[in-house]
Amino acid sequence: MEKSYRAELVGVFGDPIDENPTGVVEEAAFAALGLNYRYITVRVQRGELAAAVQGLRAFHMRGINLTIPHKVEVLQYLDSLSEAAQLCGAVNVVVNEDGQLWGDNTDGKGYLKSLVDAGVDPAGKHVTLLGAGGAARAIGVELALAGASKITVVNRDRARGEELVQLLNDKTQAEAVYLPWDGAAAVPEDTDILSNATSVGLYPHVEQKPDLQYDTIRPHMVVTDVIFNDPNSRFLQEAAQRGAKTINGLGMLANQAALNFRLWTGREAPVSLMEEVLRREFHLAE
Ligand code: NDP
């Protein structure tokens, strides 16, 4: 093939965006495979998304990631959606196929891959899911599609929690129930997987952990956290002290970036390299 100086463009639209590390991770993966792709990290404020998507089309960009506050609004500008994106009503990655924009949600798939990589199969399992925001919705939908039999949603805001429960009951095979969260919550005894999908713990220096009766965590449980910038969060420490197997959010983030890489390039992503780059970005030890 003749040499081309034209790079394929991908990136992320969001606000705030300055601390989003995905560009460094994707660029390292492109370089490792010798692909002429560029990942641009773009501040797109609320109200500017329609213009940004037009720009994406005009620049013939190969695709884009969406983050806060655009994951829901972007749906109206797309031509088609994956099943997961349709179900959870949120898109974090878009692929441009000759002007046709297709949206998917790889947050939940990245989470699921991190479970499978740790030897955990959610099929037939009872999952207790803390949170009902964007990450929780994506995780809940993907766990249900992977065959989880029961999902207990624990969320402070009742309306948000019940909305997720209804979505799961209406659209998937899983049985979903809502558990109110006012004061320290007890983890149901027959829980197999306890998943923190709240933003509690995102600021490690504040030393926060979800408000739970930690003695209700049993050794047979697998306990997972979406928090990626503290691989040993207070929540996971408490769980490990009770003998539970723990999985942090770094794998979810790396796997999600790897899935996006594959959607754009059609090539397998160098996942361990991507995880290593993330660790470096967050100044984490191996
Ligand atoms: P949202 O703002 O959509 O949802 C936040 C959720 O956290 C809500 O359910 C909210 O409950 C709950 N919450 C916040 N504070 C508390 C508290 N003090 N006690 C109990 N519940 C609380 O955020 P997202 O769902 O988009 O993101 C959640 C987290 O997931 C973030 O930390 C984000 O960084 C992380 N994430 C990680 C990814 C990864 O790859 N590892 C990918 C995507 C996200 P309520 O409804 O009651 O307000």
pLDDT single digits (tens) 91-123: 999 999 999 999 999 999 999 999 999 999 999
Residue nearest atom 16 in ligand 1 by C-alpha distance: 200
Residue of higher predicted confidence among 202 and 178: 178
What's the rounded mean pLDDT across residues 202-227?
Answer: 91
The candidate with the shortest Cα–Cα distance to 42, out of 75, 24, 66, is 66
- Range in 169-178, 199-208, 230-239 the model is least confident about: 199-208
What's the CA dihedral at 223, 209, 152, 148 to 10 degrees?
A: -30
Q: Is 201 in the pocket of ligand 1 (CB under 6 A)?
A: no
| pLDDT at residue number 282 | 82
- Burial class, 286, CB count within 10 angstroms (exposed 0-12 / middle 13-18 / buried 19+): exposed
Q: How confident is the model at residue 160 (pLDDT cuts 50, 70, 90)?
A: very high
User: What is the crossing angle of helices 107-117 and 250-265, to 10°?
Assistant: 120
Is the model's pLDDT at 2 over the cut of 90? Answer: no
- Least-confidence region, from 21-25, 150-154, 238-242, 280-284: 280-284
Q: Are 122 and 185 in contact (CB under 8 A)?
A: no
Alpha-carbon distance 100 to 117, whole Å? 33
Higher pLDDT, 122 or 201: 122
Which are the contacts of 278, defined by CB distance < 8 A and separation ≥ 6? 21, 25, 228, 250, 253, 254, 284
Q: How many angstroms separate the Cα of 131 from the Cα of each of 26, 27, 92, 225?
A: 28, 32, 18, 11
Tell me if 60 sits within 8 A of 82, measured CB to CB.
no
Rounded Cα gap, residues 108 and 172, in angstroms = 15
Distance CA 286, CA 284 (A): 7
What integer is the mean pLDDT of 125-133?
A: 97
In degrees, rounded to 5, the angle at the alpha carbon of residue 141 between the alpha carbons of residues 13 and 183 is 95
Locate the ligand 1 atom nearest the alpha carbon of residue 211 and give its number.
Answer: 19
- Given a contact cutoff of 8 angstroms between Cβ atoms, the answer to whether 28 and 280 are in contact is no
Predicted TM-score of the model (pTM): 0.92
Q: Which of 3, 71, 113, 209 is catalytic?
A: 71
Q: Residue 256: CB within 6 Å of ligand 1?
A: yes
Give the pLDDT band of residue 228 (cuts 50, 70, 90).
confident
Q: Over 70: is that where the pLDDT of 285 sits?
A: no
Rounded Cα gap, residues 105 and 259, in angstroms: 10
Residue nearest to atom 28 of ligand 1 (CA): 199
Q: Residue 151's pLDDT is what?
A: 98
- With cut-offs at 50, 70 and 90, classify the pLDDT of residue 173: very high
CA-based nearest residue to 110, from 273, 275, 265, 251 = 251
Distance of CA 224 to the CA centre of its chain: 13
Q: How far apart are CA 259 and CA 230, in angstroms?
A: 22
Q: What is the mean pLDDT of the chain?
A: 95
Amino acid at 256: Q
Position 24 scores a pLDDT of 96
**How does pLDDT run across 45-85, given as a tens digit for each residue?**
999 999 999 999 999 999 999 998 999 999 999 999 999 99
Measuring from atom 4 of ligand 1, which residue has the nearest CA?
133
Residue 197, pLDDT score: 96
Q: Say how far apart CA 141 and CA 144 lie, in whole Å.
A: 5
| 71 flagged as catalytic | yes
Does residue 7 have a known ligand-binding role?
A: no
Percent of the chain with pLDDT over 70: 98
- Give me the residue label for tokens 């990655």: 93
The region, left, alpha or beta by phi > 0 then psi within -120 to 50, assigned to residue 258 is alpha
Task: Determine if ligand 1 sits within 6 Å of the CB of residue 184.
Answer: no
pLDDT at 1 over 70: no
Find the mean pLDDT for residues 252-262.
97
* Residue 169: both structure tokens together: 């009951």
